[in-house]
Amino acid sequence: MESITHDRIALFADNAQAIKKGFTWHNTMTRRLAAFLYAQVDKPVDGEYIRQCYMLMKQNTGLFSMFRGNMAICVAAMLSLSEDPQKQFDETLKVYEMLKVEKLRASDYLAVAAYIIAEQVKPGYQQDAVTRTRAFYDIMKKRHYFTTGQDDYIYAAMLGLSELEAASGMKRVGQFYDRLKNEFWDKNSVQALSHVLVLGGSDDSSAARVVELRNAFRARRIRLDKSFTLPALGILALLPVETETIVQSIYQIQKSLREQRGFSKWSVSAQELLLYAAALVTDEYLDSEDKGIVSATISTGVTGIIIAMEVALIVTIAAASAAAASS
């Protein structure tokens, strides 16, 4: 395991413990995601600054705003890592309203999609990205009506930010989907996986690489082919690294994470742990100049993809918990 990855694992664990102090009553998984965002940029978590950004969000939104929902601490953490949190949040709110004008529904997914667009597009140029986001989403919905929903907003935004043309880009998504739909049971996750492969500019061989990796992981009793982790398998398939090297890296990092305080199997699910392991492995090979460079799209999009998967996992568990509490 690369020393930089070892250090990030330790920092991630320390950050996860530190952020608990200031946000005790907030979603545990969201706190961990915020802690991870800091670890990815090799920074100790700044709980007080995150709290300031959280209060900034509360002061600029209404009581029922999605920016006060499940992902509030995550968005506050992203704001705290930006150069100008107030400006960044103002632009995020502006993009969020643009997306709602396009008749995309208010949700945690839309809030994160708005942040991603506002972060990457200069003020005054955001409408084109918003329009393209809607265009990609419309084609998704037309082709896969029952599997396309709010959980696809973040992928639609990332595709909208790419240089892909909507029709040809989604045709490419469809080709990967058709190739892989019989390999995995969760068709919604196959759709997300196909989005990741297209965002990475992958060629036809990537589908076979995904299956090869799936089989290699299964042989080690690692299930990256489940609902929330399947898109991460797509990220790993794009790395210019031997299959066995990737599998061994995931195995070692997963094991190392489990050994950290607060990361036992009783505290962190196997799927959530694997998402972080996949992100750390990807970062490891992006940081290693002698091991090749992943395409710029994936290099800049890994965090967005991991966030998309985490949001899906967090929102699903939060909804299940709320349903159980009301029954």
Q: Is 70 in contact with 318 (CB distance < 8 Å)?
A: yes
List C-alpha distances in Å: 199 to 165, 203, 264, 297.
12, 11, 33, 6
User: Domain spans of the chain?
Assistant: 1-81, 86-326
pTM given for the model: 0.89
For the purposes of burial, counting CB atoms within 10 Å of the CB of 146, is it exposed (0-12), middle (13-18) or buried (19 or more)? Answer: exposed
Q: Return the ∠ at Cα 18 (arms to 12 and 19), rounded to 5°.
A: 90
**Per-residue pLDDT of the chain in tens (327 residues, 90 and over written 9):** 667 789 999 999 999 999 988 788 888 888 999 999 999 899 999 999 999 999 999 999 998 899 988 888 999 999 999 999 999 999 999 999 999 999 999 998 899 999 999 999 999 899 999 999 999 999 999 999 998 999 899 999 999 999 999 999 999 999 999 999 999 999 999 999 999 999 888 788 899 999 999 999 999 999 999 888 898 899 899 888 899 999 999 999 999 999 999 999 999 989 899 999 998 998 888 655 433 334 434 444 556 667 777 777 776 666 555 555 555
Closest CA to 159 of 196, 191, 127: 196
Closest CA to 53 of 71, 32, 41, 29: 71
Give the integer Cα–Cα distance in Å for 229 and 306: 9
Give the integer Cα–Cα distance in Å for 246 and 224: 12
